[in-house]
Amino acid sequence: MVFVTENKWDFVDDGKLHPDLRSDLRDKGIDEGRLHLYLSRADFFEEKIKPELETMDDLRLQFQTDSIDGFKRRDIEPEVERWYSYQTVTLELPDSNGDEARIKHIMSSEIDSMCDVWKMDADEYAISFNVTLAADVEYYVDKSDGYGSESPEYEIEDWDWNEHVMLVSTSVDVEIPVGCIYSITERRITEIDYDG
């Protein structure tokens, strides 16, 4: 537990938590040894936040240079491809009837060099990054748009999807923000969250 205050008149007595507050903690069954008192935000930042930020910077660099024991960036890219295959993503596409497309096939993936990495425990890392997928996607186009297009930027997969739309496909690069948990012992992504 942390208590940060610059009010040394009401909450602090001789550099320690005021006796009335220590009594309140005991009354609530809280061991006062669990409470860490900081007499300024700067002290709290220097002791608690700054080391964590430095650790995050170190982990980011280790991830970018493939020097974290137990996994490499190249281990994650196939995992990301596995998670994204056949997912629906939001894209701006030529003549699209809406803004959703389904990833049909991923040719390659590349994780952006800028990322955030947190060590959750001895086995798991949380990683946040952007991934660029070179993918074939399929989506729907109004048939009326298909009639007027002399050289469409897509291939028609099924002209008779229904009486109003046709199913088409095209190749695109899709950039997606990803957050995931990677397990070193399982050597795989165990959880993933994305804004597709």
* pLDDT for residue 126: 86
* pLDDT for residue 27: 93
Instruction: State phi, psi for 18 to the nearest 5 degrees.
Output: -55, 140
139 CB neighbour count, 10 Å cutoff: 25
Residue 185 sits at the vertex; the CA angle it makes with 180 and 190, to the nearest 5 degrees, is 25
Alpha helices in the chain (DSSP H): 19-27, 41-44, 50-64, 73-84, 143-148
171 close to 125: Cβ distance less than 8 angstroms: no
Report CA dihedral (188, 116, 89, 92) to the nearest 10 degrees: -150
Q: For residue 49, what is the DSSP state? A: I
121 close to 167: Cβ distance less than 8 angstroms: no
Tell me the two tokens of residue 24.
């309140």
Tell me the two tokens of residue 184.
């070193």
Nearest to 95 by CA among 154, 136, 171: 154
Nearest to 136 by CA among 102, 184, 177, 178: 102
Q: What share of the chain is helix, strand, coil (3-state, %, to 5)?
A: 30, 40, 30
pLDDT in single tens digits along all 196 residues of the chain: 888 988 888 898 888 899 999 999 999 998 888 888 988 888 887 887 766 665 777 877 877 777 777 777 777 778 888 888 777 877 778 777 677 888 888 888 888 766 788 887 888 888 888 888 899 999 988 888 767 666 678 888 998 888 888 899 999 998 888 888 888 888 888 888 765 4
Residue whose pair of structure tokens reads 């186009």 in the numeric block: 141
pTM over 0.75: no
Residue 138 sits at the vertex; the CA angle it makes with 134 and 143, to the nearest 5 degrees, is 140
Residue whose pair of structure tokens reads 């990677």 in the numeric block: 182
Q: Give the bridge partners for 111, in sequence order.
A: 131
* pLDDT for residue 128: 86
